[in-house]
Amino acid sequence: MTPAAPRLSLRPGQPGDLPFLQSLAPRLVASAPAWRDRAAMLAEYDELFTAALTDPEPGSAVLVALLDGQSAGFTLLYWHPHDQGVFIKDLAVSADAEGQGVGRFLLTAIEEWGRQQGAQEIMLKTSWFNARAREFYAAVGFREDHVALVLRLDG
């Protein structure tokens, strides 16, 4: 008998998800260029995730993917009505859940959420150095559009 395929489900983020989101923050900053201060980036994520879960901005959402009932990934989204688009601020999958369809499941949920808002497009940013993420997004139909250049003024 073959084992049952893993079951994926989705739910809105809740304040109790803060430790889970925080546990994935290092994955979000791992591919940042060497000149970025990863400790500062992680501190910013603590504030961002806390606000997103406890005092969300209008038009934002945190969606948590569950794999067999366990938190496996999340996305933080913002609706931009003027641009008629959804911006994926963050999307991360736990190391244990990699390769099990969680990322694609979240992207499907994002598409559905965006369609409910009336979106015409979904946009995201990822580090130029994160080849794996860029390949993943390209494989599901995202196309590169903008290049961001950064000049640090603090040193």
Q: Is residue 125 part of a domain?
A: yes
Residue 102's domain comprises 8-139
Q: Is residue 150 part of a domain?
A: no
Q: How far apart are CA 39 and CA 65, in angstroms?
A: 26
Mean pLDDT of 88-117: 96
CATH number at residue 76: 3.40.630.30
DSSP category for residue 146:
-
Q: Given a cut of 70, is residue 20 above it in pLDDT?
A: yes
Q: Is residue 110 part of a domain?
A: yes
pLDDT value at position 4?
Answer: 57
Q: Is residue 2 part of a domain?
A: no
| Bridge partners, 49 (sequence order) | none
Q: How far apart are CA 90 and CA 61, in angstroms?
A: 11
pLDDT value at position 151?
Answer: 84
Dig out the tokens for 77 from the structure: 């989204």
Measured in whole angstroms, the distance separating CA 106 from the mean position of its chain's CA atoms is: 8
DSSP character string of 28-57: HHTTS-TTS-HHHHHHHHHHHHHHHHHSPP
pLDDT digits (tens, 9 = 90+) for 45-70: 999 999 999 999 999 999 999 999 99
1 pLDDT tier (thresholds 50, 70, 90): low
Q: Is residue 81 part of a domain?
A: yes
Q: How far apart are CA 57 and CA 31, in angstroms?
A: 27
pLDDT digits (tens, 9 = 90+) for 104-135: 999 999 999 999 999 999 999 998 888 999 99
Mean pLDDT of 80-107: 94
Q: Is residue 61 part of a domain?
A: yes
Q: Is residue 145 part of a domain?
A: no
* Other Cβ atoms within 10 Å of 58 Cβ, number: 7
pLDDT value at position 110?
Answer: 97
Q: How many domains does the chain have?
A: 1
pTM: 0.90
Q: Is residue 105 part of a domain?
A: yes
